[in-house]
Structure 1
């Protein structure tokens, strides 16, 4: 019965993920941890998000910004391999707190389409950003929509954001799962749950695309920002015990 609720939750979360440009990993982590344990969350989510990203690439293929993808390509591979190798030996609580705060800060980073003053995000900026984000993703299993504000401020449409982000996500998650498997973190249980959640996510992406075509670009941007902020608060909430411990030390 628990597995059934996880699959239903995955279906709903991945619909939201399609409408918000990502974030499913953060929202699903607590549910997946209940079934497979905390240590298996990263490889399970890597398999399932890789499957959902494949579906998004097929649906939004013609919108993919390949110039941007090529800037992300090398840094994504390097960062994800480094992060996955550090996964086995480092405590990640501090990183999760930092990522949570960065996601919450999105509300201050967001600029409306008509406001083009200030620092403009360029294609080459995604190479160093991709290295950092893919490293963090390999280390803690997923960082949600951490780069979405950069995609939006780069000037992407909702379809281009989903297609380009998903193309890069496939590369990221293939590299991560190969690294996790090499390090011995992928067993039959991890593979089974990853494929089950992934199958649920693929159906959800089709439903999400249907809804996406019926909302405005502005509403999409607003959903992205709200989801990022909520994901940040969720990540902090998941580490509330660690935060309390830090406060006591201070």
Structure 2
């Protein structure tokens, strides 16, 4: 019964993920943790998101911005390997709080229709990709953290999804190899990862059908909303750490 609930949840979450440019990992992590345990969440999500990204690449192949992908390629590999290396030995609580605050701050960046003061260029994605890949390897998922950069860069909704998915395949494949090397990809992890992955691939197809009916402006709005929601969820998940920080500050 738990597995069925996780698969139903995955189907809904990955449809929403297609419409919002990502963030499936943050929404699905609590459900997956109930079934496989907290420590197995990161490798399970790497497998399932890698599979869903494969279907997105197939559906949005003609929209992929290969120039951006080229800038992201080396930094994604390096960052994800370094993050996976520290996965077992480093507490990620404070990092998740920081990422949550960054995601919530997106609402202030895009609350008006003015162009951001700082224009993102293609080469900027290399250092940003390194940091995001490292954080993803370390804590399992960072949500749509780079979506504000994609929006600032000025690409279409289809191009955002396709380019992000192509980079996600690279990111999660590297993470899977790294997790396997350190012994985190067990038979159970592989089973749940593939089951959720297959479900996500079906969900992405239905998500694309819905995506075709919404405008670029509305897509931009729901992407920003999803980033803020992802940040709130991340802060809520680590609320005990937030309270501890406040108590330490007050004392």
TM range (shorter): over 0.9
C-alpha deviations, 1:21-60, integer Å up to 9, x for none? 0000000010000000100000000000000000000000
Aligned equivalent of 2:153: 154
1:96 aligns with 2:89: no
Q: Pick closer, same or farther for the CA change 1:220–1:186 going to 2, 3 Å.
A: same
1:81, 1:175 within 8 Å by CA — same for their partners in 2?
yes
User: Are 2:216 and 1:192 aligned?
Assistant: no
Alpha-carbon distance in structure 1 between the residues aligned to 2:153 and 2:47:
29
Cα distance in 2, alignment partners of residues 153 and 110 from structure 1: 9
Instruction: Give the alignment of 1:22-171 within 5 angstroms.
Output: 22-110=22-110, 115-116=114-115, 118-171=117-170
**C-alpha spacing 1:247/1:111, structure 2 compared with 1 (3 Å):** closer
Q: Aligned residue pairs: how many?
A: 249
Counterparts of 1:14 and 1:117 in 2: how far apart (Å)? 29
**Residues 121-144 of structure 1, C-alpha deviations (whole Å, 9 max, x = no match):** 000000000000000000000001
Match of 2:14 in 1: 14
Assess if the C-alpha contact under 8 Å between 2:53 and 2:168 holds in 1. yes
Return 5+ residue gaps in structure 2 as ranges.
none
Q: Deviations over 1:175-195 (max 9, x none)?
A: 000000000001000000000
Q: Which runs of 5+ in 1 are unaligned?
A: none
> Please, what is the CA RMSD of the aligned residues?
1.0
Tell me by how many angstroms 1:119 deviates: 1.1
Contact 1:83–1:136 (8 Å) recurs in 2: yes
CA distance in 2, matches of 1:223, 1:52: 20
Shift of 1:164: 0.2
Shift of 1:117: 5.5
Inter-partner Cα distance in structure 1 for 2:163 and 2:111: 20
Contact preservation (8 Å) 2:116, 2:152: no
Q: TM-score, normalised by structure 2?
A: 0.97
CA contact (8 A) 2:55 2:204 kept: yes
Taking the aligned partners of 2:59 and 2:201, their CA distance within structure 1 comes to: 11
Bigger mean CA deviation after superposition, 144-153 or 239-248: 239-248
Q: CA deviation at 1:111?
A: 7.0
Q: Is the 8 A contact 1:111 1:153 kept in 2?
A: no
**If the length of structure 1 is used for normalisation, what is the TM-score?**
0.98
